[in-house]
Amino acid sequence: MKKEKVKSIIKYICIFSYSFLCLLFIYTLSRGDLYVNYGFSYAISRGEVPYVDFNLVILPFAPFLYAIFLLFSKSIICYYLGQSLLLTVFSYFVFKLLDKKAFCYFAVLLMPFPIAMASVIFPGYNFLLLLLTVIVIYLEKEEKSDYLIGILLGFLFLTKQTVGGLLCLVSIYYLFRNWKKVLKRVLGFFIPVLVCLLYLVLSGGLTSGIDLCFLGLFDFGHSNFYYEKFYLICLVIAFLVVVYRTFKRPKDIDNYYLLLFMSCTFPLIDYYHVSLFLALFFLIIFSDLKINVNLEKQAIIFILAIGFIWSFVETKCMGNLKIVNYQNLELSIFSSKYIDNVERLDNYLDNEKREVIYFLRGSENYFYKIKSNSSITYFDLPNYGNYGYNGTEKIINMLKELDDVLIVIDKECYLEESFSQQYLKEAVTYIIDNCKFKKRVGNYEIYLKE
């Protein structure tokens, strides 16, 4: 085996290992919607049917892909290992696009401050959206098979229908130049889409899937618009740079992918969604840079230093952190206070011996369901826009049908006046007004629906 090939294998093994370390320890407190994304795949791996047994507002490609890694075990460790593999694939295409500048790009990507781009590395449909877009841009640059590009565009659509659908429009660029090229892409696009459509028909999830993923977008956009000033400024600056780059180099097709990829920031212009866009933005910008000096070693040292420093900062700032092993959620890191709240709630509910519905923030609901090895249901993601068209009325009607069930709510979340708050407060109001208050346990209030 040639020396260069051995070096390459070692490089990707190191990237895989460091990715796993980042997910498990270094950036684990920046996990965002990790438990929700994990929960989708966890539910599918248990045999639950999307849109029938539980609600989600994306098409099902990402949850199904990640569910493959959970066939071996439902443990989140397997989920992290699967994501580490995908991060290694991501790094492969970054090296193809940037060559020796790749490690400098990774250094920027893993800097957690002031722009929290490191949150992008966690598993879920948004990371997959980034990965597939990077692969498509690489295939465009290399002028690879249009059938293959079409298939990947189909997967992009099935990953996040809004952004993926817009990215498909880039192919119109070729429409009046080479219509056969567009036709091949259309044919490729429909291969995964028709497979998904067939699955939805056979599983009985077609009607509810259309309602949740398409009709519910009206409720989602109306109820969830929010922006953070700092990230809005970052977005505007990046947008102006892309527009300038497009005018200077109108034939570069990556400009159009980048412009349309910006749609991932709407309607939530926050640290996570803007960071997702900036991850692609910096990749394209780095491709323009001319770096004559080899900075690979310095960049690698910087990446390792960032990991060490950030771990130290999080430990000091977050106070008394502990590693705890829950069922399916091994080696989880939480504050001692949170672990105590979880234990107190579990003890109380175990003694009650009634069916329990967790009506907390989505991530917490999924956390409690996964660690108890329970099924995911429609009650577990009570956010605005997550129940299809006129969703608030639907979830309240579902609550009305309950009988002799304990419902756990987050009163502090309910009272919080925040523009970024997605918690479905009308449903919580119904619970408070129509159910019997039982007890307050830690941060939670427990009600009985009789």
Q: Is residue 303 a part of any domain in this protein?
A: no
Task: Give me the pLDDT at residue 369, please.
Answer: 97
Per-residue pLDDT reduced to its tens digit, 271-295: 999 999 999 999 999 999 888 777 8
Per-residue pLDDT reduced to its tens digit, 357-367: 999 988 999 99
What residue type is 125 in one-letter code?
Y
- Looking at the structure, do residues 252 and 326 belong to the same domain, yes or no? no
Task: Give me the pLDDT at residue 420, please.
Answer: 58
Cβ partners under 8 Å of residue 118, min gap 6:
22, 27, 30, 109, 110, 111, 112, 310
Task: Give me the pLDDT at residue 349, please.
Answer: 95
- Looking at the structure, do residues 284 and 338 belong to the same domain, yes or no? no
Per-residue pLDDT reduced to its tens digit, 12-57: 999 999 999 999 999 988 888 999 999 999 999 999 999 999 999 9
Query: Residue 363 belongs to what domain range?
Result: 322-449
**Domain boundary at 262, 288, 314, which?**
288
Residue 222: band (very low, low, confident or very high) from pLDDT cuts 50, 70, 90: low
- Average pLDDT, stretch 382-391? 91
pLDDT of 225 over the 90 cut: no
- Looking at the structure, do residues 176 and 271 belong to the same domain, yes or no? yes
- Looking at the structure, do residues 155 and 91 belong to the same domain, yes or no? yes
pLDDT of 116 over the 60 cut: yes
- Looking at the structure, do residues 169 and 248 belong to the same domain, yes or no? yes
Residue 1: band (very low, low, confident or very high) from pLDDT cuts 50, 70, 90: low
- Looking at the structure, do residues 338 and 417 belong to the same domain, yes or no? yes
pLDDT of 348 over the 60 cut: yes
Task: Give me the pLDDT at residue 169, please.
Answer: 93
Q: Is residue 135 a part of any domain in this protein?
A: yes
- Looking at the structure, do residues 240 and 185 belong to the same domain, yes or no? yes
- Looking at the structure, do residues 249 and 331 belong to the same domain, yes or no? no
pLDDT of 193 over the 70 cut: yes
Tell me the average pLDDT of the chain: 93
- Average pLDDT, stretch 183-209? 97
- Looking at the structure, do residues 223 and 279 belong to the same domain, yes or no? yes
What percent of the chain lies above the pLDDT cut of 70?
A: 98
Residue 172: band (very low, low, confident or very high) from pLDDT cuts 50, 70, 90: confident
Task: Give me the pLDDT at residue 295, please.
Answer: 84
Q: Is residue 308 a part of any domain in this protein?
A: no
pLDDT of 112 over the 90 cut: no
Per-residue pLDDT reduced to its tens digit, 314-332: 887 777 899 999 999 999 9
Task: Give me the pLDDT at residue 221, please.
Answer: 64
Q: How many domains does the chain have?
A: 2
Kindly report the pTM of this predicted structure. Answer: 0.96
Distance CA 229, CA 77 (A): 36
Q: Which residues pair with 356 in a beta bridge?
A: 406
Cβ partners under 8 Å of residue 307, min gap 6:
18, 21, 22, 26, 110
- Looking at the structure, do residues 119 and 16 belong to the same domain, yes or no? yes
pLDDT of 419 over the 60 cut: no
Q: Is residue 333 a part of any domain in this protein?
A: yes
Count Cβ atoms below 10 Å from residue 80 Cβ, excluding itself: 24
Q: Is residue 300 a part of any domain in this protein?
A: no
- Looking at the structure, do residues 276 and 192 belong to the same domain, yes or no? yes
pLDDT of 382 over the 80 cut: yes
What percent of the chain lies above the pLDDT cut of 90?
A: 78
- In this predicted model, which residue has the larger pLDDT, 241 or 422? 241
Task: Give me the pLDDT at residue 318, please.
Answer: 72
Q: Is residue 377 a part of any domain in this protein?
A: yes
pLDDT of 87 over the 60 cut: yes
Task: Give me the pLDDT at residue 293, please.
Answer: 73
Task: Give me the pLDDT at residue 226, please.
Answer: 84
Q: Is residue 326 a part of any domain in this protein?
A: yes
Residue 226: CA count within 13 A, CB half-sphere: 16
Q: Is residue 256 a part of any domain in this protein?
A: yes
- Looking at the structure, do residues 57 and 133 belong to the same domain, yes or no? yes
pLDDT of 155 over the 90 cut: yes
